[in-house]
């Protein structure tokens, strides 16, 4: 079994301040988003639980928030991409 926990500090001025991601065998088993929009953070965490890392990246990457070039979901995709490079 390949279990990992990865902590990521979002960039680009998004609301969330930290993402703690648990992965097992390239499947997201848990996500905790520190700060940010509480309802959206809980919703994203619930939706990606059980999702393959590559699927989450493809669904979330490129989402923007208002006039920002990124968003909390996009930052989650960036975190997952970084996790793949480091593993």
Q: What is the pLDDT of residues 22-72, one digit of tens each?
A: 999 999 999 999 998 999 999 999 999 999 999 999 999 999 999 999 999
Dihedral of alpha carbons 13, 8, 31, 62, sign? positive
H or E stretch covering 40? helix 38-48
**pLDDT at position 87, please?**
75
**pLDDT at position 86, please?**
84
Name the pTM for this structure. Answer: 0.94
Q: How far apart are CA 34 and CA 14, in angstroms?
A: 12
Q: Which CATH architecture has domain 3-86?
A: 2-Layer Sandwich (3.30)
**Domains of the chain by residue range:** 3-86
Whether the pLDDT of residue 1 is over 70: the answer is: no
């Amino acid at each position: 079994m390949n279990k990992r926990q990865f902590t990521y500090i979002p960039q680009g001025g998004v609301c969330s301040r930290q993402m703690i991601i648990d992965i097992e065998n390239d499947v997201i088993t848990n996500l905790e988003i520190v700060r940010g929009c509480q309802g959206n953070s809980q919703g994203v965490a619930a939706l990606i639980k059980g999702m393959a890392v590559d699927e989450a990246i493809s669904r979330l990457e490129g989402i923007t928030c208002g006039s920002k070039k990124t968003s909390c979901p996009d930052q989650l995709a960036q975190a997952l991409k970084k996790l793949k490079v480091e593993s």
